[in-house]
Amino acid sequence: MLESDSDHNLFVNFYLYCFRIFIQPRMNLNVANVEKFKTIRTGEDYIQSLRGRDLKIYLFGELVKEPVDHPMIRPSINAVAETYDLAVREEELASAHSSITGLKVNRFLHIAESAQDLVLQNKMQRKLGQNTGTCFQRCVGMDALNALHSTTFEIDEKHNTNYHKRFLEFVKMVQKENLVIGGAMTDPKGDRSKGPAEQDDPDLFTRVVAKDDKGIYVSGAKAHQTGCINSHWIILMPTVRLTENDKDWAIVGAIPADEKGVTYIYGRQSCDTRSMEEGTIDVGNAKYGGQEAIIVLDRVFIPWDKVFMHGEYEFASMLIERFTCYHRRSYVCKTGLGDVLIGAAATIADYNGIPNVSHIKDKITEMTHLNETIFAAGIASSYQAHKMKSGVFLNDDMLAQVCKHNVTRFPYEISRLAQDIAGGLVVTLPSEKDFIHPIAGPLLKKYLIGRKGTSVENRIRILRLIENMTLGRNAVGYLTESMHGAGSPQAQRIQIQKQMQIGYKKNLAKKLAGITNDIEKPNENSDYFNRVFKTNNSIL
Ligand SMILES: Cc1cc2nc3c(=O)[nH]c(=O)nc-3n(C[C@H](O)[C@H](O)[C@H](O)COP(=O)(O)OP(=O)(O)OC[C@H]3O[C@@H](n4cnc5c(N)ncnc54)[C@H](O)[C@@H]3O)c2cc1C
Ligand code: SF4
């Protein structure tokens, strides 16, 4: 009998040691398979679960041996680890009771059972943005799971397939093991004016290349994939509306991130190699960063039980629209980053001795106004959710589009104001090594002093954070991801235009203007105002 935790740990370590030395080599298993015996709970458990997976990752023209220990990759892993630790520290915010498994699960794996669940997703996203100052990478998977719940249900309804049941089994597995799911929608797309079947190279959109009684084989690639190397499973989905000619591209399936035939080519970020230098100042945010990579798929096998769409091309647009509806409101994550940047701007104003100057206070007020405008649309979209046929809740689409469209603009203005307040040093600061140099260091400490009583090092640290978020590594997450992630600005304008019910609005104007002979019954493909005026939103 084991007397204590340390006895237990000794036993487990001894068991794992024997397993690795004597049994594993004969079973052709890797360390990750061994670690999977243990359910992930904390950030540290999660980090250990990523070790030894033997992923094929190219970075700087070389294969990465162990991404967990790579100084440029590790900050992105730390950001995902924080999603686990938050669920331990603030259980109500970052976990939820799942009626699929009957377990308390990480909120990133939860299927929304009420509008309140969606509201809490947004609150969790803002908190994680505040804690990490970067993209914490798990929302694409969360939004893909929720979009697939209703889409697989409705495909089955029409085609008498059994995708929904398979999908629920997958959800049970990932909830029980508490895994990270990456969502892979964006294909490289080649000539943007052409669909998948019209491209010269059919691999420019991910497609089925073979099938047998065990499953299907897919080839192609997925571009800009957030957190893919930090995921345990990746869900492949189509990225554009498909036609009958595109049946081979109408594929949704889940693959383990370490599946045979998967190659990752790591995406560079501005100033990324600073993470490989000594010191913690120049990097700006030493602990956290985002991650994107291109995933190349070479005849990757997906067993039938992990296939959730196969050939039902007419459902591709339903899946994309539902996914982007969830995901465009998930971009309230950026308000958490905005909170950090506003705090940084106020701090540098303080260190520079001008915290009470009227134009500075006004600029910080403007930054806050823009940031809260993003949050307002996102959280309102979640509150205005409705129940789908499958039972999952879907947030309001119009407000989700507005949220994301604001995100394509406001972080740029917030960044501009932060740089205005910070001054030119944000781009002209010497390196950390010069600050500790016996001759250059004292000179810099003399000439880079701010308000009396403030530390030069603190002043430099906050300037480097502003640089990190507006020009450096985490500008990927705060700016360009805000522009293109979940779809470029025009994609939201198209959705807003589709739903704006202009006929209804013209009639409002005509009635008040006294026009009685020109009132038409609007023929509009949107029920936005029905949702606005619905009075029985018993959501909480
Ligand atoms: C940091 C980051 C993280 C991301 N993470 C993920 C992820 O985890 N998973 C995922 O699936 N995707 C992810 N994406 C991809 C994102 O959804 C795409 O970047 C986005 O859909 C735009 O596609 P694109 O980058 O290929 O740009 P393009 O499609 O080349 O768009 C560039 C411009 O061309 C316009 N354009 C493109 N096609 C047409 C057309 N046919 N007609 C008219 N105008 C057109 C666009 O409106 C835009 O203005 C991420 C992107 C970024 C930048
Ligand atoms: S950009 Fe935001 S919503 Fe998307 S994965 Fe990163 S943190 Fe989540």
pLDDT in tens, 1-50: 333 444 444 444 444 444 444 444 444 334 444 444 468 999 999 999 99
Cα 240 to middle of ligand 2, angstroms: 21
How far is it between the farthest Cα atoms of the chain?
A: 89
Cα 341 to middle of ligand 2, angstroms: 17
Per-residue pLDDT, 535: 87
Q: Output the six-digit token pair for 116.
A: 């309140």
**436 to 274, 278, 431, 448, 464: CA distances (angstroms):** 17, 12, 9, 14, 16
* Residue 524 near residue 501, CB atoms below 8 Å: yes
| For residue 418, pLDDT beyond 80 | yes
pLDDT digits (tens, 9 = 90+) for 50-86: 999 999 999 999 999 999 999 999 999 999 999 999 9
Per-residue pLDDT, 23: 45
pLDDT average, residue stretch 262-278: 97
Pocket test for ligand 1, best of 488, 492, 494, 496 (most atoms within 8 A of CB): 488
Cα 238 to middle of ligand 1, angstroms: 13
pLDDT average, residue stretch 106-132: 98
Per-residue pLDDT, 537: 60
Ligand 2 pocket at CB < 6 A: 135-137, 139-140, 226, 330-331, 333, 481, 485
Cα 483 to middle of ligand 1, angstroms: 9
> 378: which residues sit within 8 A by CB, 6+ positions away?
122, 329, 330, 331, 332, 335, 399, 400, 403
Cα atoms found within 13 Å of the Cα of residue 258, Cβ hemisphere only: 17
Provide the mean pLDDT of the chain: 93
Pocket test for ligand 2, best of 123, 124, 137, 180 (most atoms within 8 A of CB): 137
Per-residue pLDDT, 525: 87
Cα 484 to middle of ligand 1, angstroms: 5
Pocket test for ligand 1, best of 138, 192, 480 (most atoms within 8 A of CB): 192
0.85 cut: is pTM over it? yes
pLDDT digits (tens, 9 = 90+) for 85-114: 999 999 999 999 999 999 999 999 999 999
List residues with catalytic annotation.
135, 139, 226, 292, 327, 331, 333, 481
From 369-383, 427-441, 523-537, the region with the lowest mean pLDDT: 523-537
pLDDT average, residue stretch 440-455: 97
- Residue 479 Cβ inside 6 Å of ligand 1? The answer reads no
- Of all residues in the chain, the percent with pLDDT exceeding 70 is 92
| For residue 408, pLDDT beyond 50 | yes
Q: Output the six-digit token pair for 197.
A: 């079947």
Q: Output the six-digit token pair for 370.
A: 């823009």
CA torsion through residues 520, 523, 526, 531, sign:
positive
412, burial (CB in 10 Å: exposed 0-12, middle 13-18, buried 19+): middle
